[in-house]
Structure 1
Amino acid sequence: MTVDAHHHLWDLDVREQPWMTAAMEPIRRDFRAPELGAALKSAAVDATVLVQTVADPDETPEMLVLADSVDRVTGVVGWVDLTARDVRERIGRLQAHPSARWLKGLRHPVEAEPDPDWLVRPDVLAGLAAVEDTGLVYDLLVRPRQLPAAIKAVGQYPQLTFVLDHCGKPPIADEELEPWATRVRALAAHQNVMCKLSGLVTEDDWARQPDPDRLRRYVDVVLDAFGPGRVMFGSDWPLCLLATDYAQVVGLAKNLTGHLSAAERAAVFDSTARRTYEL
Structure 2
Amino acid sequence: MTVDSHHHLWDLDVRDQTWMTGPEMDRLRRDFLPPDLLAAIKGSSVDRTVLVQTVPDPDETPEMLVLAETVDKIGAVVGWVDLTARNARERLGRLQTHPSGGRLRGVRHQVEDEPDPDWLIRPDVQTGLAAVEDAGLVYELLIRPDQLPAAIKAVGRFPQLTFVLDHCAKPAIAEGELEPWAGQIRALAAFPNVVCKLSGLVTGDDWARQPDADRLRRYTDVVLEAFGPARVMFGSDWPVCLLAADYAEVLQLAERLTEHLTRGERRAIFDGTARQVYGLTS
Q: What is the TM-score of this pair, normalised by structure 1?
A: 0.99
5 Å-filtered alignment, 1:184-195, equals: 184-195=185-196
For residue 158 of structure 2, what is the aligned residue in structure 1?
157
For residue 247 of structure 1, what is the aligned residue in structure 2?
248
- Secondary structure of 2:204's aligned partner: coil
For residue 148 of structure 1, what is the aligned residue in structure 2?
149
- Secondary structure of 1:46's aligned partner: strand
For residue 70 of structure 2, what is the aligned residue in structure 1?
69
5 Å-filtered alignment, 1:3-82, equals: 3-22=3-22, 23-82=24-83
Q: CA deviation at 1:25?
A: 1.4
Q: Deviations over 1:223-265 (max 9, x none)?
A: 0000000000000000000001100100000000000000000
- Distance in 1 separating the partners of 2:131 and 2:245: 38
* 2:67 partner letter: L
For residue 122 of structure 1, what is the aligned residue in structure 2?
123
For residue 217 of structure 1, what is the aligned residue in structure 2?
218
- Distance in 1 separating the partners of 2:43 and 2:32: 16
* 1:194 partner letter: V
Q: Would the aligned equivalents of 1:43 and 1:246 in 2 still touch at CA under 8 Å?
A: no
- Secondary structure of 1:202's aligned partner: helix
For residue 273 of structure 1, what is the aligned residue in structure 2?
274
Q: Deviations over 1:49-100 (max 9, x none)?
A: 0000000000000000011111210000000000000000000000000001
- Distance in 1 separating the partners of 2:47 and 2:147: 33
* 2:89 partner letter: R
Q: Would the aligned equivalents of 1:42 and 1:247 in 2 still touch at CA under 8 Å?
A: no
- Distance in 2 separating the partners of 1:105 and 1:157: 15
* 1:144 partner letter: P
Q: CA deviation at 1:38?
A: 1.3
In structure 2, runs of 5+ residues without a counterpart are none
- Secondary structure of 1:42's aligned partner: coil
* 1:224 partner letter: E
Q: Which is worse superposed, 217-226 or 23-32? A: 23-32
Q: CA deviation at 1:122?
A: 0.2
* 2:121 partner letter: V
Q: CA deviation at 1:44?
A: 2.6
Q: CA deviation at 1:21?
A: 2.1
Q: What is the TM-score of this pair, normalised by structure 2?
A: 0.98
Q: CA deviation at 1:19?
A: 1.0
Q: CA deviation at 1:40?
A: 1.6
The answer on 1:111 being equivalent to 2:73 is: no
Q: Which runs of 4+ in 1 moved over 3 A?
A: none
Q: CA deviation at 1:41?
A: 1.8
- Distance in 1 separating the partners of 2:231 and 2:144: 20
* 1:24 partner letter: M
* 1:92 partner letter: G
- Distance in 1 separating the partners of 2:279 and 2:140: 14
Q: Deviations over 1:189-222 (max 9, x none)?
A: 0100000000000000000000000000100000
- Distance in 2 separating the partners of 1:109 and 1:220: 26
Percent of residue pairs bearing the same amino acid type: 73
Q: Would the aligned equivalents of 1:37 and 1:71 in 2 still touch at CA under 8 Å?
A: no
In structure 1, runs of 5+ residues without a counterpart are none
For residue 169 of structure 2, what is the aligned residue in structure 1?
168
* 1:216 partner letter: R
- Distance in 2 separating the partners of 1:117 and 1:21: 26
Q: CA deviation at 1:126?
A: 0.3
* 1:84 partner letter: A
- Secondary structure of 1:115's aligned partner: coil
RMSD in angstroms over aligned alpha carbons?
0.6
For residue 87 of structure 1, what is the aligned residue in structure 2?
88
For residue 178 of structure 1, what is the aligned residue in structure 2?
179
- Distance in 1 separating the partners of 2:77 and 2:160: 20
Q: CA deviation at 1:42?
A: 3.0
Query: How many residue pairs were aligned?
Result: 279
